Amino acid sequence: MVRKRVPDWLNSSLWSTTPADDGLHRYSPSPTTTTTTSSATVSEPTLQPPATVPPPAAASKPQSTPTSPKLEIRDPVNKNSNNNSGGNDQNGDSSGVSPDDISRQAQLLAELSKKVINMWELRRIASQGIPDGAGIRSTVWKLLLGYLPPDRSQWSSELAKKRSQYRHFKEELLMNPSEITRRLEKSVGCDNDESKPEGRGLLSRSQITHGEHPLSLGKSSVWNQFFQDSEIIEQIDRDVMRTHPDMHFFSGDSQLAKFNQDAMRNILIVFAKLNPGIRYVQGMNEILAPLFYVFKNDPDVEMAANAEADTFFCFVELLSGFRDHFCQQLDNSNVGIRSTITRLSQLLKEHDEELWRHLEVTTKVNPQFYAFRWITLLLTQEFNFADGLHIWDTLLSDPEGPLETLLRVCCAMLILIRRRLLAGDFTSNLKLLQHYPSANISHLLYVANKLRTQAIG
């Protein structure tokens, strides 16, 4: 067998040495301890690149909440902007913003100001990374995931409809059986007096059955279903509490952290109940975290206040492209996680057969040992949080869905450390791949895009 020649650009020392700090890591989130539930009156959109001013150390004072849905594109580093996160970790210190970032901010803001947004152009710009200081990642991600339509005139009605739908889901699915039973009992007393306003809209007598007793084992019993759900809810509670323990946004005893944990818990429980075929699988909390973090840190106060509902629908949309990876019955099918890992192995063989042979034939490192977590958790555990957001900018920008780009990024991760892998044995290589070293994310995404262009060519 004739081995494919490794392209010269793959052997460049650029990919095997630690790159100089280009400023990307300056956006790594640092824990904050402030808490807030603030809001501000929505003003007309300000469409201009943000000033390079550090974000406020504390949140603004509470004001009145706007009543009508409007999207405002504002600069979160502006001290007059509201910040519901208690720190807005994603923006970091913007004092070192590069000219490329400023240019990209201007392009994105200009695109978002159009009455009808050109999605192809938005994807092209966003795929290069959304500057952290722009405060528009929330809006761009909602567009990329199809939650917001390209026509801006439809945003208000679409958001109102979706948020109302989510409230209905919560009322239906998160209600404690005790409350359901109380309402049922109350409706019985109200049947004989239809004129009483408190009796209107409650369940009728015909809907009340003896099965609504806490000891009922009937399949339709809300109590029986409640006890069946308890195990999943306990798992969700444990995982939510463990989400990014180094970030005060997600973890700790602060009011902010507890509020965010409750919101994530609600989203995961509602998803599990609406998707009985998948329910909840450990690790879904890690995929949920970046979405909720970005939406809750939207500088527009109303958008941030509705982050839970917006995150739910975007989470559903994102997971729709990966749901088969979470279904154990499909693990060995052509759409399951093992098939996807095989595709990654084939991709590496196609672009770097020498490295593929060393890993899988010589040292016998099964890609499932490391790629399972890379793929199922969308690389959320391999890089720091800020770098993960940058990678997701690229993943979500792929018009064909994030999976293809994800596989190329995973392949690029192997190529970036090929010299160390080629010099290693089973033990050292497995350790290296399960604890991936810090990398220059711009270089990583460059290599991934290079793999795309080579495949096309």
Q: Are residues 229 and 314 in the same domain?
A: yes
Q: Are residues 288 and 168 in the same domain?
A: yes
> Is 102 inside a domain boundary?
no
pLDDT for the residue 344: 96
Average pLDDT, the chain: 77
Q: How confident is the model at residue 4 (pLDDT cuts 50, 70, 90)?
A: very low
Q: Are residues 167 and 267 in the same domain?
A: yes
pLDDT for the residue 2: 46
Q: Are residues 346 and 281 in the same domain?
A: no
Q: 437-457 burial, b for 16+ CB within 10 Å, e for fewer?
A: eebbbbbbbebbbbbeeeeee
Q: Are residues 353 and 440 in the same domain?
A: yes
**Domains of the chain: total:** 2
| pTM (whole model) above 0.85 | no
CATH number, domain with residue 370? 1.10.472.80
Contact 177, 214 (CB under 8 A): yes
> Is 16 inside a domain boundary?
no
Q: Are residues 361 and 446 in the same domain?
A: yes
Average pLDDT over residues 211-231: 58
CATH number, domain with residue 159? 1.10.8.270
* Chain segment 110-164, per-residue pLDDT in tens: 999 999 999 999 999 999 999 987 789 999 999 999 999 999 999 999 999 999 9
Domain boundary among 321, 354, 382: 321
Domain boundary among 257, 286, 321: 321
> Is 273 inside a domain boundary?
yes
pLDDT for the residue 95: 47
Contact 349, 411 (CB under 8 A): no
> Is 264 inside a domain boundary?
yes
pLDDT for the residue 231: 86
Residue range(s) defining the domain that contains residue 373: 329-451
Domain boundary among 295, 321, 347: 321
Kindly tell me if the per-residue pLDDT of 234 is higher than 80.
Answer: yes
Distance CA 98, CA 113 (A): 23
Share above pLDDT 90 across residues of the chain, in percent, rounded to a whole number: 56
Q: Are residues 282 and 371 in the same domain?
A: no
367 or 192: which carries more pLDDT confidence?
367
* Chain segment 401-455, per-residue pLDDT in tens: 899 999 999 999 999 999 999 999 999 999 999 999 999 999 999 999 999 887 6
How far the first Cα of the chain sits from its last, in Å, is 23
Q: Are residues 167 and 287 in the same domain?
A: yes
Kindly tell me if the per-residue pLDDT of 79 is higher than 80.
Answer: no
Q: 371-404 burial, b for 16+ CB within 10 Å, e for fewer?
A: bbbbbbbbbbebbebbbbbbbbbbbbbbeeebbe
